[in-house]
Structure 1
């Protein structure tokens, strides 16, 4: 079966809600096996996340309040792509807004689908190097603080469950793997 044969054919879309994070609706599709189905989907513009390296052994992580997660969690800087925005530009913008740092060098490390069972959200992952400090520009709804963490500690925080955010786990792992290969 070719990749084209493995995709669903869209018959119709009914939007139930639209907001700042995207739109939620029901898609009527013909599945690759030929059967028709109605599937819920959250359409999302995509996002970028970045692991800021102060040096080879230290990263900047955020403690950020997330209502949906029930409190404050550890994360890497990340945010939603603006319409037509390049993922690398988004990563650089979010890095500056959330930590104050500007990247001298940004490397793409990968991309992930967050929850492909109901959303098309894809997060592009980056590592930032040669950082220059500056001022943050948090949005009014963001409750964020940043902290320098040894990379080895950040990786052990994944093992202990202290870091549980999926994009942060993926971003740290891919950035660490990139460093190990260099």
Structure 2
């Protein structure tokens, strides 16, 4: 069933760090009026990179996660800088965080974090045919690079130190996509 989008009667903006908070005064097709909030990201989105060391092995990175105050395993990720494509950003972040570049990069799809109240999108990129190359990054310390077999995702998905939703979703999407290729 396709619904008509709500009518936006008023938008009120306020700054909130890297995001802009908007208050939306909405009217739905049934006449109900509500006020919603959303966070509008500044910038050009982000990338989540699935770097494949070989056909069976993905490279994860371990870095400090301030939100949960612990070291967390996850995929290479970062923002897309002005003028960059998702492919360029993915290759740059891969070099900065894992010390590898990629000769083959495939953008699979955009993913959202919380689309009911955030506009932020992350592009899922699979990186293959890796070669060693390091660029200086913005991390305060060098990240640990941890090889992980795709066949062992069932063990990874239940680890306490691997909890980021984008990394979880990206690995399962990439595994399915890679498995369907010749």
* TM-score where L is the length of structure 1: 0.85
Equivalent of 1:13 in 11, 14, 24: 11
- 2:86 is aligned to 87
Write the distance in 1 (CA, Å) between the matches of 2:29 and 2:91: 39
Write the distance in 2 (CA, Å) between the matches of 1:141 and 1:9: 45
Structure (1/2) with the larger helix percentage? 1
Greater displacement, 170-179 / 32-41: 32-41
* 1:33 and 2:30 matched: yes
Aligned-pair CA distance for 1:124: 1.2
Q: Any residues of structure 2 matched to 1:1-182 within 5 Å, and which?
A: 2=2, 5=4, 7-19=5-17, 21-44=18-41, 45=43, 46-141=45-140, 144-182=143-181
**Could you tell me whether the CA contact under 8 Å between 2:74 and 2:164 is conserved in 1?**
yes
Aligned-pair CA distance for 1:47: 1.4
Q: 1:148 to 1:164 in 2, by over 3 A?
A: same
Q: How many residues align?
A: 179
**Could you tell me whether the CA contact under 8 Å between 2:97 and 2:142 is conserved in 1?**
no
Greater displacement, 163-172 / 9-18: 9-18
What are the ranges of 5 or more consecutive residues in structure 1 without an aligned counterpart? none
What are the ranges of 5 or more consecutive residues in structure 2 without an aligned counterpart? none
Aligned-pair CA distance for 1:14: 2.0
What CA RMSD, in Å, does the superposition of the two structures yield over aligned residues? 2.2
Greater displacement, 29-38 / 93-102: 29-38
